[in-house]
Amino acid sequence: MITRRGLIVTGGATLLTGCDAWSGSPVLLSAEEAHRYLQRSITGRAALAREFRPEQRSPRFRTNGTANPDTPEYAALAAGRFADWRLQVGGLVRQPLSLSLAQLRALPQRAQITRHDCVEGWSAIGKWQGPRLETILQRAGLRDGARYIVFHCADVFGRRRIPYYESIDLVDAFHPQTILAWAMNDAPLGIGHGAPLRLRVERQLGYKHAKYVMRIEAVASLAGIGAGKGGFWEDIAGYEWYAGI
Ligand SMILES: Nc1nc2c(c(=O)[nH]1)N[C@H]1C(S)=C(S)[C@@H](COP(=O)(O)O)O[C@H]1N2
Ligand SMILES: [Mo]
């Protein structure tokens, strides 16, 4: 019996219980359907990324992309050790939020030691800690129609000052390992790695892990954001929006 998913295998058939079952009669799955269901929960998008032991962490974890956002606004926040920084949560939510670092640290936390894989061909293992994105989205309350979560970052690129941003769908937003990390390797996140807050979305490549997150926006469509492809590198270099690993 797999209690976590409420899946009970009884002889030839399988009973699917839990939330779904409360509203109606239990669903009877054939052996083949049960197998497919189990297979999905192990290998599908709900599957967990591998987690490592503390001693497996990389001695050096390089930074990539922006290592210090070049704007007066960010410089002022960093000078004040992010005491005036607030994470804004808005868009298709019932209750817009404005959260300080202290408030984010007071939420239930998750810590995980995972491998970061950059599309440029390097990897590093580090420990990340912060609240789950799901916890924050639940407090804000997604409205009907919300389909993507957009992360607006503090850093800008080039002479046209194009802001970095990224987006994920709700499957990844509610994935248990999707967190907003304020700590790395048991210390507050350094500026190079995205202080004060960066996304960890462990089933996707490095460029999806938005650093310097300032604002989270729930949207129905990515069409109105940036050039419409769902992320900075997606817009300017044709990177895949879904970068699953
Ligand atoms: N805001 C922002 N987030 C970003 C980037 C960036 O340039 N700006 N680079 C991305 C890329 S390509 C990678 S590999 C990782 C690097 O994270 P690190 O600097 O902590 O190694 O951040 C990602 N998130
Ligand atoms: Mo990357």
φ/ψ of 201, rounded to 5, equals -130, 85
Q: With respect to residue 49, please indicate whether it lies within any of the assigned structural domains.
A: no
Does residue 207's CB lie within 6 angstroms of at least one atom of ligand 1? yes
Does residue 232's CB lie within 6 angstroms of at least one atom of ligand 1? no
pLDDT > 70? residue 178: yes
- Peptide bond just before 196 cis, omega within 30 deg: yes
Does residue 77's CB lie within 6 angstroms of at least one atom of ligand 1? no
Task: Please state, in angstroms and rounded to a whole number, the distance separating the CA atoms of residues 103 and 96.
Answer: 15
Q: With respect to residue 108, please indicate whether it lies within any of the assigned structural domains.
A: yes
- Contact by Cβ (8 Å): 128, 111: yes
Task: Please state, in angstroms and rounded to a whole number, the distance separating the CA atoms of residues 57 and 185.
Answer: 9
- Contact by Cβ (8 Å): 162, 231: no
pLDDT > 50? residue 241: yes
Which protein residues have their CB within 5 A of the ion that is ligand 2? Answer: 64, 118, 206-207
* Domain identity same for 192 and 76: yes
What is the number of alpha carbons within 13 Å of residue 198 lying toward its C-beta? 26
Q: How many domains does the chain have?
A: 2
Kind plus residue range of the DSSP H or E element containing 62 = none
How much distance in Å is there from the Cα of 29 to the middle of ligand 1?
Answer: 43
Radius of gyration of the chain (CA): 20
**Model confidence over 30-44: pLDDT tens digits?**
777 777 667 767 778
* Domain identity same for 74 and 35: no
Q: At 221, is the pLDDT very low, low, confident or very high (cuts 50, 70, 90)?
A: very high
Which residue among 58, 60, 61, 64 has the greatest number of ligand 1 atoms within 8 angstroms of its CB, and so is best to mutate?
64
pLDDT at 11: 45
Task: Please state, in angstroms and rounded to a whole number, the distance separating the CA atoms of residues 156 and 160.
Answer: 8
How much distance in Å is there from the Cα of 125 to the middle of ligand 2?
Answer: 14
Provide the residue range defining the domain that includes 27. 4-43
Task: Please state, in angstroms and rounded to a whole number, the distance separating the CA atoms of residues 218 and 93.
Answer: 7
Q: At 1, is the pLDDT very low, low, confident or very high (cuts 50, 70, 90)?
A: very low
* Domain identity same for 31 and 117: no
Structure tokens at 233: 């590198």
Does residue 153's CB lie within 6 angstroms of at least one atom of ligand 1? yes
* Domain identity same for 15 and 111: no
Supply the pTM of this predicted model.
0.87
